Amino acid sequence: MALGDSYPIFGDWFYIHFVENNGMAFGWKFGGDTGKLILSLFRIAAISAIGYYLFTLIKQKKNSILIISISFIFAGAIGNIIDSLFYGIIFEASGSFHIAKAFPADGGYSGLFYGKVVDMLYFPLIEGYYPEWFPFVGGDYFAFFRPVFNIADSSITTGVALLIIFQKQLFSVIEKEIPEENSELEKEELDEPVTQIVD
């Protein structure tokens, strides 16, 4: 697909729409090339920390919902970092009316760490125009849901949503574990012989 190409999948409410994201969620970015490098390095550090945490949860046989949630977040983060690490090396620059070639002879559009994240899922469920009397945006076009995202973003969102939905269950498990540990300590203290110093 050329940059900006769009194909309807289900009527007017779901499209495959090719865009590239040079920064974070919703296209936010900072600091030019330096900011991009910092963002890529931060993502690698975050993935390493999440991966270690997930390994620890599995090893300790923690709550399966917690493990599944963190796995979704971990998988999504890896998906996005693959784009930003390697796509700049693999593909030439995309453009309107121009389909990018893989492994061009002159090299990709950027170096390692500077690739763009590809987004393609677009759900304009509700479209229209704000009423003229509406403050600041009266008469402007609106669409819900406007951001274009990818499967990796969906994975991260699913993981976070599971953590929010099941937070009571997850926190109650943690609260139950703490009193049990405390009661064992108290039992050990009671079993110890009591010595009294008499003058």
Is 119 noted as a catalytic residue in this protein?
yes
Cβ proximity of 141 and 129 under 8 Å: yes
Catalytic residue chosen out of the listed positions 5, 12, 119, 140: 119
Marked catalytic residue, from 5, 33, 153, 199: 153
Burial class (CB in 10 A: 0-12, 13-18, 19+), 27: middle
Give catalytic status of residue 153 as yes or no: yes
**Residue 153: count of CB within 10 angstroms of its CB:** 19
Alpha carbons 188 and 190: distance in angstroms, whole number: 5
Work out whether the CA dihedral 38, 44, 47, 48 comes out positive or negative: negative
Query: Catalytic amino acids?
Result: 119, 153
